[in-house]
Amino acid sequence: MGTKSQDYWNQESGFQEPRHLDYPKVLAPGSCNLGSWFQKIIFMKSIIIISSNLGSCNLGSWFITLLFAASLPFCTPCLAQKPPVEYKFTVEKEAPYTKVKNQAASGTCWSFSGIGFLESEILRKGGRDTMLFSEMWVVRHIYKEKIEKYVRMHGKIELAGGGSFFDVLHACKTYGMVPETVYSGLLPGSNSHNHNELDRVMASFGKTLVEGKKLSNGWRKAADGILDAYLGELPTEFTQNGIKYTPESYMEATGLNVSDYVSITSFTHHPFYSSFILEIPDNWIYESSYNLPIDEMMSVIDSALNKGFSVAWGSDVSEKSFSRDVATIPEEKITEQVGTDQAKWTGKPAQNVVELLPSEKTISQEMRQEAFDNYETTDDHGMLMVGLAKDQNGKKFYKVKNSWGIGGKYKGFLFVSQSFVRYKTINIVLHKDAVPDEIRKKLGF
């Protein structure tokens, strides 16, 4: 997750959007009403013609023109564009969560959402909301491991800024954790993440290594030098609230046990109620997920949120109906789009008024499998589910915490429909205690 979410960083409004996202064209209330203006112009012209015809006693022309003018009020609704009916959401259940952060121009949604998940777990266990972890601590360690594997695999795996929730758990277990204030991963003088150059340098460095065939003894030190230059040197100990920690002792102090967390998915190319290595490019670490039928995976999500557990959510976001505020699966594909690359680059946010849908597609197990098999569902983006909600018609939505800053109508959160989650979910990660007992028995844990 993350490789598609790094290109468009809006410096002015503080949010980031995947490169393929545009929004439905909607005329906002108060904008130019072409139908109204057209009616006024034609009506005035008709009066002039009527006056002229009366003067010339041309009764036939006078009568036709009068009928045309009288019909205009009935035609106007066809020309005028009604303001959209927007969604209104009521949150019914909510898990604890920390503040919305901003991955900015980096493909590290997986780290931000994974760290946000662990921070939520600390709150659920009664911890403090001031215990904010360092996303870049995880990124720094994972990048080093990834280039090691890239070399050993002769360049046959992806070497980029993307990753998965597995990486976050692995880094915490292997290297411990540090607070965000101890390791920000920001260059001096910078207040936001920009990994465009780092990613290009690492990709070029990796390619150079594997093309050289025979490696020197200094390449690992060179990799550390690149990562230290862009993200900073790793601390070995630090003081927090008057207590001296190492990364390992700090992780232990959180009370979290990464072995308590499981990944669940739903695909038919592997048997249900078994586990398999999820075949996505960013699962370079080859971790496994439990496989459930889609209805049972959805029941796990609902049960977890109802019990106050948050859920780390990996999803495809390539649908044009995915926006930074609302995500749905319309019955008909969205084809008309607005917004240009230039507008995104220059800091002019695209219109994002999402009209209330009368209905959505009904998503079956076969539909989601076909989308995965055809590369229509890919591991694009990691987020955090924190609540259950309903729209004004009583339809279920999920409240989701994003990592694109506090832009958008819901200040960094979005609401995702049940159909979207059924269709586009890659996997979820949650505490095993959040899984209903009857499903845990089927999975054997």
Per-residue model confidence as pLDDT tens for the chain (445 residues): 865 444 434 433 444 444 333 333 333 333 444 444 444 444 444 444 444 544 444 545 544 444 444 554 444 444 556 777 899 999 999 999 999 999 999 999 999 999 999 999 999 999 887 789 999 999 999 999 999 999 999 999 999 999 999 999 999 999 999 999 999 999 999 999 999 999 999 999 999 999 987 999 999 999 999 999 999 999 999 999 999 999 999 999 999 999 999 999 999 999 999 999 999 999 999 999 999 999 999 999 999 999 999 999 999 999 999 999 999 999 986 654 443 222 222 243 444 557 788 889 999 999 999 999 999 999 999 999 999 999 999 999 999 999 999 999 999 999 999 999 999 999 999 999 999 999 999 999 9
Q: Which residues of 78-94 are buried (b: 16+ CB within 10 A; e: fewer)?
A: eeebeeeeebebeeeee
Q: What is the pLDDT of residue 213?
A: 79
Tokens of 98: 């920390």
**CA–CA gap between residue 46 and residue 61 (Å, rounded):** 11
User: What residues have CB less than 8 Å from 175, skipping those under 6 apart?
Assistant: 137, 141, 247, 248
235 contacts 182 by C-beta, under 8 angstroms: yes
E strands along 292-350, which residues? 311-315, 326-327, 337-338
Q: What is the pLDDT of residue 43?
A: 45
Question: DSSP labels for 249-262?
Answer: HHHHHHT--GGGEE
Q: At what angle do helices 196-211 and 135-152 cross, to 10 degrees?
A: 20
Query: Length of the chain, please?
Result: 445
Beta partners for residue 397, in sequence order: 389, 417
Residue 60: count other Cβ atoms within 10 Å of its Cβ: 8
Tokens of 272: 């249900």
30 burial via Cβ count (<10 Å: 0-12, 13-18, 19+): exposed
Give domain limits for the chain: 34-79, 87-443
CATH assignment of 87-443, given 3.20.20.80, 3.40.430.10, 3.90.70.10, 3.40.50.10190?
3.90.70.10
Tokens of 217: 């003894």
**CA–CA gap between residue 354 and residue 86 (Å, rounded):** 6
Q: Which helix (H) or strand (E) holds 161?
A: none
The H-assigned helical ranges of 15-164 are 34-56, 59-79, 109-124, 135-152
330 contacts 361 by C-beta, under 8 angstroms: yes
Q: What is the pLDDT of residue 21?
A: 37
Q: At what angle do helices 165-175 and 109-124 cross, to 10 degrees?
A: 70
100 contacts 403 by C-beta, under 8 angstroms: yes
Q: What is the pLDDT of residue 61?
A: 52
3 state SS of 135:
helix
Kindly report the backbone phi and psi dihedral angles of residue 205, in degrees, each rounded to the nearest multiple of 5, phi listed first: -65, -45
User: What residues have CB less than 8 Å from 11, skipping those under 6 apart?
Assistant: 192, 347
